[in-house]
Structure 1
Amino acid sequence: MANVKVERKASLTRKQVAEALSALASALDEGPEVEVKVAGLEVKLVVPDELHTEFEVEVDGDEIEIELELKWSTAPTARPNPRPARRRAR
């Protein structure tokens, strides 16, 4: 996959944020193919069964930030090559 970055910053209501997170959760629950809509673009992703997650809450004075990161590799997983059985000398 080519390097792509789509970013959207916007002010949303709490309800709008909940709806967006709920839609993402439903898509992840339904299967590996997930469509993410950001900044007017629709990005289709294939999400594996297991991925790396990072959840961070940061309080800095009168500002609070919550970050949720989902990360996975698109590289094919290496399968170990079984070695051929050795023949015993007779």
Structure 2
Amino acid sequence: MSTLEVTREELLTREEAARRLSTLAAALADGEKVLVPLGGSTVKVHVPDHVRCEIELEVDGDEIEMEVELKWAAPGHED
């Protein structure tokens, strides 16, 4: 069970979605602290040098879903 889960869903243009992903990618490349915008607030997350990445593409009738998931151990819980 999660001790914290924040979900934000919104409708974006393709260009807005690309900018959002580019901003997140630049933050990941720049350092271990990543600011994640969530609605009217921002969450700072520690990201280690190595993360697990999963990309999923699902086609279900007339809907296509793509998920990009990054996972890593919380600070103090590294392998």
Q: What TM-score does the superposition give when structure 2 sets the normalisation length?
A: 0.89
State the shift of 1:9 in Å: 1.0
- State the distance in 2 between where 1:55 and 1:28 align: 17
**Which residue of 1 is the match for residue 3 of structure 2?**
3
Partner SS state of residue 59, structure 2: strand
What residue in structure 2 maps to residue 48 of structure 1? 48
Counterpart of 1:81 in structure 2 is none
Unaligned residue ranges in structure 2 (runs of 5+): none
SS of equivalent to 1:17: helix
Cα separation, 2, equivalents of 1:41 and 1:6: 11
Query: 2: CA distance between counterparts of 1:7 and 1:52?
Result: 20
Superposed displacement of residue 75, structure 1: 4.3
Dislocated runs of 4+, deviation >4 Å:
none
- Conservation of the 8 A alpha-carbon contact between 1:57 and 1:67: yes
**TM-fit CA distance, 1:3:** 2.1
**Sequence identity, in percent?**
47
The corresponding residue for 1:23 is 23
Asked whether the equivalents of residues 6 and 39 of structure 1 are also in contact (C-alpha less than 8 Å), the reply is no
Matches within 5 A, 1:33-72: 33-72=33-72
Q: Return the letter of the residue paired with 2:54.
A: E
Correspondence 1:70-81 to 2 at 5 A: 70-76=70-76, 77=78
- 1:21-73: per-residue Cα shift (whole Å, max 9, x none)? 00000000001010000121210011001111110000111110000111111
| Matched residues, number | 77
